[in-house]
Structure 1
Amino acid sequence: MRDFGYMEKGQSSSLYDFKLWVRILRISSGFKVPIGIAVALSLGATFAALSVPYLMKTGIDSYITVTTIPVDQRYGGLGKIGLIIGVLISIGFALTFIQAVLLEWVGQSVMHRIRQRLFNHILNLDLSFLTNQPAGRLVTRLTNDVQNMYEMFTSVLVTMFNDILRLIGILVVLYLLNVQLALVMTIFVPLALIMTLVFSGLAREKFRAIRSQLSRINSFVQESVSGISIVQLFGQQRQWYEKFDSLSGEYLSRTLKQIRLFAAFMPLTEFMSWTAVGLILLYGGNLVIDRSLSIGELIAFIAYMRLFFQPLRELAQKYSIVQSALA
């Protein structure tokens, strides 16, 4: 029988599996235009988001802290900058909204195509294969696994590119603002990347453990319902309930482990983010006192630092979604 890439339990694909990515891209090949539009919208939203802290810096340094120009000009300048910031925020909101709707449509369309192909594939499988496979596992492949693929299309492929672009853009802007402060901030980049990679690896293990246990539960429920008359005939209700309770308890345990992992990662990221802000405030404050840095630049630096750690958190989660979808 032809190999369609079916993954037995215990096996997993890799993020670096080139053949699998080719298959995924082939399935979505009919949606190149909407995906390209989504990427363009993502670029526009990123530009709008990164422009706001710089405009804040301009407003502070050019109008708030400057006393050599008339007060009415200062008010007028601040009003113009406030208006520009409002327009950029509105544009960013609109672009993000359109992108989300577009990606939802693409994701649902691609998943519809995958479901149709999977079901048709199952209908044409060898009888020997179907006999050896629990029906619950096949149901999981058609439902839960397809849902994971849907999440990858809608919340990962384009937005992961957006997050990487935002990180690069923030680093470039920080070095343009002040090299000394940017070097201080760069210390946290490898630490954040290491923490993100460690979390992603652990999260992938937890996701796979949860999915394999869910497959066992689905298989057990399907077999129980189809053979319920035999179970009742031999009075095995109690034994079957205890077995289901054991399977369900193991699923709960694995899910709680995943929750604890996420609960630990998010505060760690926040701690690192605020530690970076504290160091920037300490070192940058000294530069402001020495008149080597303006107050606006310091505030913009802190704002960019807060923006920098947000995509790192999102990248870790999306990396896990990709691994779960490719598994």
Structure 2
Amino acid sequence: MIGHTFGRMSREGSDDEMFGKLYDINVIKRISPYIWRYKKYSAIGAICTLLSASLAVLIPYFIKIGIDDYINNPNIGIASQKSGLIKISLIFGLTMFAAWVTNYIGQIYLARVGQYTLRDIRIDMFSHLQKLNLNYFQKTKSGSIMSRLMGDTSQLQESFSIVVMTLADILTLVGICTTLLIMNFKIGISSLSVVPLLFIAVVIWQPVAKRAFITVRIAISQVISSFSENLNGIKEVQNFNREDNNYKNFNTQTKDHLNSALKAQKLSSALLPPVDILTSTAIIIAAFVASKLILNDAAAIGVIIASVLYIQRLFDPIRN
């Protein structure tokens, strides 16, 4: 089972070539059996997370109902307004509470799946290392093995959570776009006109950011590898007076990691201002269209307020 899961650990060329792909279907296939061991936890976490995303989409719509049907409705009396607002407030509060509870449960179970998966992968990798012949350890640096065993496996911990959160973001986007178009088609279609610009910004940003984050992964792998090798061979280092040379090499590697991490952080931060600008632009467009509709009594105040709230949430997945 272990051999089938990991296959051959030794490969020709540098180990850093393994970082060349952002998403590798073979890696996903190898992780799937580990996640499947905890299918009950996985199902609970996924269902709760998706349910939380669905409930969160309803919250602005309840605000719209409260404003248009009760606060700004001259056709009903004060008593009906009060009772209606109390009812919609209770529904609003219960929905928010349910969204919080389902999100909390989902995060707990997804984290549990990630921790259990990480533990099983490390145990199987350790068991697999015991069965490898000496030629593998002669050709492979001990630091690289430690980097794979401790550093890279940690990245797998969040893999299932990322998949579920991506599905939740997609569900949220579909729900927001659909609700915007249903409430008022003109306001909805005008506010969504900036979405193509967002996709263009992401398409331009993603390849550059991908290379930067892969560079960070390679750099931290080299740092962990160098640290582990120097620690394991500390007697040889001291016997041959290699302290200064090893210190200089390690200092250079840590600086490379620092520079690559700072560059990646800059690229990560560079996407947020365009997103904020597009969010503001969408709100301005929606307000401009809504002002004309209000003058012609073609739109209600609650629809406009709910639309603004939905537009703000529309770009949250990109910010995350």
Partner amino acid, structure 2, of 1:141: R
Please point out which of 39, 42, 52 is paired with 1:35.
Answer: 42
Change (3 A) 1:134 1:199: same
Name 2:187's counterpart in structure 1.
181
Structure 1 residues 71 and 264 mapped into 2: Cα distance closer, same or farther (>3 Å)?
A: same
- Aligned letter for 1:76? S
Aligned to 1:92: 99
Return closer, same or farther for 1:13/1:34 CA change in 2, 3 Å cut-off.
Answer: farther
**CA distance in 1 between partners of 2:123 and 2:38 (Å):** 17
Cα offset, 1:194, TM superposition: 3.0
1:167 counterpart = 2:173: yes
- The Cα of 1:101 is off from its aligned counterpart by 0.9
Aligned partner (choices 73, 86, 89) of residue 79 of structure 1: 86
Does the CA contact (< 8 Å) of 1:57 and 1:297 recur in 2?
yes
How far 1:46 sits from its partner (Å)? 1.9
Contact map agreement 1:192 1:312 (CA 8 A) in 2: no
Q: Shift in Å at residue 52 of structure 1? A: 1.0
What do the CA deviations read for 1:82-101 (whole angstroms, capped 9, x no partner)?
11111100011010111111
Report the secondary structure of 1:90's partner residue. helix
**Structure 1 pair 53/263, CA: closer, same or farther in 2 (3 Å)?**
same
**Aligned counterpart in structure 1 of residue 199 of structure 2, from 193, 198, 220:** 193
Moved more, 3-12 or 294-303: 3-12
1:300 Cα deviation after fit: 0.9
Task: Report the counterpart of residue 315 of structure 2 in structure 1.
Answer: 309
Q: CA deviation at 1:252?
A: 0.6
Alpha-carbon deviations, 1:42-95, whole Å to 9, x = none?
A: 232122111111111111111111223222221221121111111100011010
Q: 1:25 and 1:224 mapped to 2: Cα distance?
A: 35
Spell out the pairing of 1:244-283 with structure 2 (5 A cutoff): 244-283=250-289
Q: Secondary structure at the match of 1:9?
A: helix
Aligned equivalents of 2:252, 2:266: Cα separation in 1: 21
- Distance apart, 1:13 and its partner CA: 6.0
Q: 1:143 aligns to what SS in structure 2?
A: helix
What is aligned with 2:219? Answer: 213
Equivalence for 1:45: 52
Q: How does 1:291-302 map to 2 (within 5 A)?
A: 291-302=297-308
SS of the equivalent of 2:37 reads helix
Equivalent AA in structure 2 for residue 204 of structure 1: K
Identity, in percent, stands at 27
Bigger RCO of structures 1 and 2 (CA < 8 A, at least 6 apart): 1
| 1:131-180, Cα deviation, whole Å (9 max, x unpaired) | 121111111111111111002223x1211111111111111111111222
Given the alignment of the two structures, is residue 117 of structure 1 paired with residue 124 of structure 2, yes or no? yes
RMSD value, Cα = 2.1
Q: Per the alignment, do residues 182 and 5 of structure 1 end up closer, same or farther by CA in structure 2, a change over 3 Å counting?
A: farther
CA distance in 2, matches of 1:164, 1:289: 35
Deviation at 1:5, TM superposition (A): 5.8
Letter in 1 for 2:232: S
CA distance in structure 2 between the aligned counterparts of 1:213 and 1:162, rounded to whole angstroms: 32
Q: Does the 8 Å CA contact 2:56/2:99 hold for their aligned counterparts? A: yes
Is the Cα–Cα contact under 8 Å of residues 107 and 150 in structure 1 kept in the other structure? yes
Structure 1 portions without partners, runs of 5+ = 315-327
1:90 alignment partner AA: F
Partner of 2:7: 4
Q: Which residue identity is paired with 1:105?
A: R
1:57 to 38, 60, 64: 64
Is the 2:279–2:312 Cα contact (8 Å) retained in structure 1? yes
Q: CA deviation at 1:130?
A: 1.4
- Name the structure 2 match of 1:323: none
- In the alignment of these two chains, the number of paired residues is 313
Contact 1:38 1:103 in 2 (8 A): yes
